[in-house]
Structure 1
Amino acid sequence: MSQRRKSTRGNPSGQKSSSGMNPQPDQRAARGLKAFREAERKGQSAAQTPQRRPQDMKDGFLTEANHRAAEGEYSSPRILVYALLVIAAFMFSYLHLYAMPQLRHFAGGLSMPDARLTGYDTEDLQQLRSVMEDSAAGQLSFLHITAGVIFPVAFFFATWAVMGLLLGPGRVRWVAVAAAAVFAVVDIAENILIDQALAQSEPSEGLVATASLLTQISWAMLIVLGTAVVLVVLADAARMRREKSR
């Protein structure tokens, strides 16, 4: 009775290969060492990373993912800019388009001093004080120390972000930022003087004249700076569209 040799199954490494298709670990190591020595003789490194060809580059980036990641980095400052712009626009709308008009119902239909772009005099404030209810005066004072402070500060930071991050380097952007800081100081000082004038039974002409002048200056600066900010934002948006269309 003949005994048949059992063939090795399930483990190809255990089978003998005369054709060399499945080299043993020592054979693979020898081949790797040989390739390494050949690379050293040619002045190359076997572990050197293949160089990227110029045709592999696209707009200075190796891959589309790198391109999108870089675009994300460039767009991050714009997120801050737009967030500050939204806050400043919201506070302006709340203060001058909602809260101030609401107070007119408690002042016989007369507008608040803050809303008078051309200014006011002592007679205007005395007339306003005579028809204004005590609750309205308190609400105006409270509005001055809340939204009246938050808005100019938010506008300053929005102007700083737009001019500093979207506008190119130069003296113009620092002039705009300095002007926004002056506007914030003028607007807050105007609110303080208005409250002081309305609190007096007979406000002095000098106090009213100073408050009126600050009101006119703040409105003029707000219009000029607001226009400059809008123009810079629109120019940046147009430039971004041109870059994406290339």
Structure 2
Amino acid sequence: MAKTPAQRIKKHGANAAVPQHHLPSVVNPTTQRSPEKAQSNAKLVVIAGIVASLFLFWYVHLLTLNQMTQLSGGMAMPDSLIGGFSTDYVQQLHGAMTDDARGQLSYIHKTAGTLFPLIFGFTWLLLIGTNVAGKALRWVLWAPPLLFAVVRLWGNVAVDAALGAAEPDAGQVALASTLTVLGWVLFLLSLVVGGAAVFMGRRRSKSA
């Protein structure tokens, strides 16, 4: 019968050979993420975000807002007017649309019109963050998509407010028009910034 460690020590003293028991490691090596794997996961999120942004842009601007012209006598929605719009235009559009039509436009602003700038902005932040190493430069490039999301969401509210009044307020219309133009400018600038970030990321990977 095998002796216990205590019995071995009692019989042989300090010279007793006590078997060593090694506990298995509790660390699962498969859970450790390398920087390469983390970057690969980030790229997958970016790709998914780009696909979602493209779909939402198509859905909002190329499909839904175009369909809204059927409810406005062929007049374009304010969101589609890259060059802005006047008080007279908003007044004419208000007269051409029913309350239900204006409510439908407001619903678009609160759903897909809200999701698009948020998803686009988040995707572009991640796109720039994974491709640009310099912290200061990264913040500079982050500015356009961040501002785009804020301006676009604010513009949705401003357009609904300007279009909702039978006698549009000139100040509200000017604000909505300015935000619409600024939103398009920031959107285009964000696309340029995103392309520049991808170029810098590829250049850095080649030089590494």
User: Does TM, normalized by the shorter one, top 0.5?
Assistant: yes
Given the alignment of the two structures, is residue 172 of structure 1 paired with residue 137 of structure 2, yes or no?
A: yes
- Using the TM superposition, give the Cα deviation of residue 72 of structure 1 relative to its aligned residue in structure 2, in angstroms: 4.6
Corresponding position: 1:195 with 2:160: yes
Do the aligned residues in 2 keep the contact of 1:187 with 1:214 (CA within 8 Å)? yes
Residue 82 of structure 2 is aligned to residue 140 of structure 1 = no
Of 63, 78, 103, the residue aligned with 1:98 is 63
- 1:110 to 2:75 alignment: yes
Cα distance change, pair 71–163 in 1 and its aligned pair in 2 (3 A)? closer
User: In the TM superposition, what is the alpha-carbon distance from 1:238 to its structure 2 partner?
Assistant: 7.3
**CA offset digits 1:31-50 (Å, max 9, x no partner):** xxxxxxxxxxxxxxxxxxxx
User: What is the distance in 2 between the residues matched to 1:186 and 1:150?
Assistant: 14
CA distance in 1, matches of 2:108, 2:140: 30
Identity across matched positions, percent: 35
Would you say the 8 A contact 2:52–2:119 is kept in 1? yes
Name 2:17's counterpart in structure 1.
none
Q: CA RMSD in A?
A: 2.2
Unaligned runs of 5+ in 1: 1-68
2:157 is aligned with 1:209 = no
8 Å contact from structure 2 (residues 132, 200) kept in 1:
no
Count of residues in Structure 1 that have an aligned counterpart in Structure 2? 175
Deviations 1:37-90 (A, max 9, x none): xxxxxxxxxxxxxxxxxxxxxxxxxxxxxxxx9855542221111112222222
Contact kept in structure 2, 1:96 and 1:115, CA below 8 Å: yes
Larger Rg: 1
Report Cα offsets for 1:108-137 as digits up to 9, x if no partner. Answer: 111100000100011000111111133221
> Aligned partner of 2:145: which letter?
A
Q: TM-score, normalised by structure 2?
A: 0.76
Give the SS at the match of 2:166.
coil
CA contact (8 A) 2:128 2:198 kept: no
Q: Provide the secondary structure at the position in 1 that maps to 2:102.
A: helix
Q: Higher helix fraction: Structure 1 or Structure 2?
A: 2
Shift of 1:139: 0.9
Aligned with 1:223 (options 188, 191, 195): 188
Instruction: Please report how far the alpha carbon of residue 102 of structure 1 lies from its aligned counterpart in structure 2 after TM superposition.
Output: 0.8
CA distance in 1, matches of 2:190, 2:89: 28
- 2:51 pairs, out of 71, 74, 86, with 86
Unaligned runs of 5+ in 2: 1-33
Q: What displacement does 1:224 show?
A: 0.7
Deviation at 1:239, TM superposition (A): 6.8
Change (3 A) 1:237 1:132: farther
Distance 1:70 1:174 in 2: 22
If the length of structure 1 is used for normalisation, what is the TM-score?
0.65
Q: Compared with structure 1, are the counterparts of its residues 181 and 97 closer, same or farther at alpha carbon in structure 2 (3 Å cutoff)?
A: same
Matches of 1:158 and 1:75 in 2, distance apart?
15
Shift of 1:178: 3.0
Confirm or deny: 8 A CA contact 1:159 1:176 kept in the other structure. no
